[in-house]
Amino acid sequence: MELSATLFLAGLILVLLWLFSVRTRRKSHLPPGPRGLPLVGNLPQLDKHRPFKSFVQLSEKYGPVMTVHLGWQRAVVLVGYDAVREALVDHAEDFTGRGPLPLLIKATRGYGLAISNGDRWRQLRRFTLTTLRDFGMGRKGMEQWIQEESKHLEERVNAFKGLPFEPSLIMSRTVSNVICCMVFGQRFTDEDQQFCRLLNIISEVLRFGSSPRGQMFNVFPWLMERLPGHHHTVFAQIEEIREFIKMKIQEHQDTIDYSSPRDYIDCFLMRMDQEKNNPETEFHQDNMLSTVLNLFLAGTETTSTTIRYALHILIKYPLIQEQMQQEIDNAIGPKTAVRMEDKKSLPFTDAVIHEVQRFLDIVPLSLPHYTLKDVSFRGYTIPKDTVIIPLLHSVLKGEKQWATPFSFNPQHFLDQNGNFKKSPAFMPFAAGKRSCVGESLARMELFIFTVSLLQHFTFSCPGGPDSIDLTPEYSGLANLPRRYQIIATPR
């Protein structure tokens, strides 16, 4: 009886909110869009497994700037390179807000860099970028850390002695240890069972967020909270990560030397101490814990997933793998440690890595933006509190920007002379003021780890190239590739 009453009340509230959104739409000069239904809005018109494809199809009728309703939430979808760039770069200040993504709010309690807005976001972003750069992000010191981690990766892969293995956890450990050195001041060994469990949890969280159930949680969070399901297990697992971070913060508090900060946590603790008498400070325990959580999650899974997908592509297209190895052997040799300055002598390899990112399209919907005030854009008025979805999929797979958008083609990043060429439509890290803070780190990791692996191994799989399906297994919050047993044959 109590559950029935709750559901009735929830339905009544949804109807009222939907009616309010319709009235607001009439008052505002919103972009055009499909008519929605009460409670569910336009959800029935979206492919729950590939929602970004539905948005592209709808834009063919309603244009590159269109209004949709995801449940009760009004959203404006930006489709195509021109609309996305104009909003995020040319009108950057109007679109700096971050949308209230319930999955992230639940995980972070609403604190931290990823989900914040206004002065909190500005302070945390400035501090995080400065601190990570001080610890080497995008610089020579970080290059050495990644080179060292690539040696550990080589040892891990060699341990399989040419037998098949599934590389997800190996790649996660490798990539995560880089961000862990910057944030926690330490790397974790393969024997650390707690660390391996946390990496598996991070992978599961991303898989859940990219599943239809995860998308439903983001649309109807308060309803899903009251229903049984796997999401309760996922959030219990996130608590394990939060408890781990709390433990690491306490260890830092007990051992900190204010004259010699070791890592990001030390620097945050020092800033907290400097502002302890400021009642308006954003440097407090809640923001520290959630920002460290943001960095740990984002710095682990997206880059490791991209490298894993790169291996699938090299197995699928062995001639591309062979051409990359020839270029690497000729330019730097099979044993020399890879450096970022080698990119200029490895144009084909660099082009392949860029094409992997474009083709994977790892965050097809981007993280949602938000209007913090009424915004005028392309002759429309977008009201305050509207979710903005910059459809990165439509940029990375745009037919006007790429010769063969739905085929893997390294020539997208090569000129007629075989030299690497940039493309303005290459936006895997988004663009503008809310672009990924770890972009320079991710670029460095992708290049050094990929080249190092190809120096030492040739990759294949038991079923042969034709057994590899490059279509993602999940395509919600992220495009997540399928998992395969692969073989690494020492060269």
Q: Are residues 152 and 245 in the same domain?
A: yes
Q: Based on the domain organization, do 130 and 35 belong to the same domain? A: no
Written as six digits, the tokens of 371 are: 């209007």
Among residues 390, 472, 393, the alpha carbon closest in space to that of 435 is found at: 390
pLDDT tier for residue 16 given thresholds of 50, 70 and 90: low
Look at 364 and 140; give whichever has higher pLDDT. 364
* Nearest C-alpha neighbor of 419 from the set 330, 349, 315: 349
- The answer to whether residue 371 scores a pLDDT higher than 50 is yes
Looking at 73, 102, 131, the residue that finishes a domain is 102
Same domain, 458 and 422: yes
410 belongs to a structural domain = yes
Whether residue 294 sits in one domain with residue 165:
yes
Question: What per-residue confidence (pLDDT) applies to 27?
Answer: 47
Distances from the Cα of 345 to the Cαs of 215, 257, 329, 449, in angstroms? 43, 43, 11, 17
Q: Give the number of other CB atoms < 10 A from CB of residue 486.
A: 22
pLDDT band at 359 (very low <50, low <70, confident <90, very high): very high
Amino acid identity for residue 309 in this structure? Y
Shared domain check, 392 and 424 = yes
Whole-number pLDDT of residue 1: 47
In a domain? residue 108: no
Give me the pLDDT at residue 490, please.
96
Same domain, 122 and 98: no
Cβ-contact 354, 426 below 8 angstroms: yes
- Whether residue 112 is contained in a domain is answered as no
At residue 159, the pLDDT reads: 95
HEC readout, 33-82: CCCCECCCECHHHCCCCCHHHHHHHHHHHHCCEEEEEECCEEEEEEECHH
Classify residue 111: in a domain, yes or no.
no
75 and 190 in a single domain? The answer is no
User: Could you give the count of Cα atoms lying within 13 Å of 188 in the half-sphere of its Cβ?
Assistant: 22
Measure the CA–CA gap between 43 and 51, rounded to whole angstroms.
9
DSSP H or E segment with residue 250: helix 230-255
pLDDT at 4 over 90: no
* 11 lies in some domain: yes
Look up the pTM and report it.
0.92
Cβ atoms 282, 124 nearer than 8 A: yes
Query: Residue 452's closest CA among 464, 444, 461?
Result: 444
Same domain, 168 and 96: no
Residues 272 and 321 in one domain: yes
Q: What is the pLDDT of residues 210-248, one digit of tens each?
A: 999 999 999 999 899 999 999 999 999 999 999 999 999
Look up the CATH number of the domain holding residue 201: 1.10.630.10
Q: Where do the H-state alpha helices sit in 386-438? A: 392-396
- Convert the pLDDT of each residue in 124-133 to its tens digit: 999 999 999 8
Question: Do the beta carbons of residue 481 and residue 448 sit within 8 Å?
Answer: no
What does the mean pLDDT of the chain come to?
A: 92
Pair 78, 148 in one domain: no
Q: What DSSP string describes 292-327?
A: HHHHHHHTTHHHHHHHHHHHHHHHH-HHHHHHHHHH
Number of domains making up the chain: 2
Least confident range of 12-16, 333-337, 396-400: 12-16
Q: What is the pLDDT of residue 26?
A: 47
Closest-CA residue to 31 (of 54, 9, 55, 12): 55
- Kindly state the average pLDDT of the residues 386-395: 97
- Considering the domain architecture, whether residues 64 and 191 belong to the same structural domain is answered as no
Report the sign of the C-alpha dihedral through residues 295, 296, 297, 302, in that order.
positive
Give the domain extent around 160. 118-490
Mean pLDDT of the region 481-491: 96
Final residue belonging to a domain, choices 69, 102, 135: 102
Q: Is residue 66 part of a domain?
A: yes
* Residue 424 within any structural domain of the chain: yes
Residue 301 lies in a domain: yes
Who's near 138: CB < 8 A, 6+ residues apart? Answer: 440, 441, 444
What's the rounded Cα separation, in Å, for the pair 455 and 162? Answer: 15
Give mean pLDDT, residues 272-279: 93
3-state SS assignment for residue 148: helix
- Asked if 367 and 475 sit in the same domain, the reply is yes
Average pLDDT over residues 463-481: 93
Q: pLDDT tens digit string along 153-200?
A: 999 999 999 999 999 999 999 999 999 999 999 999 989 999 999 999
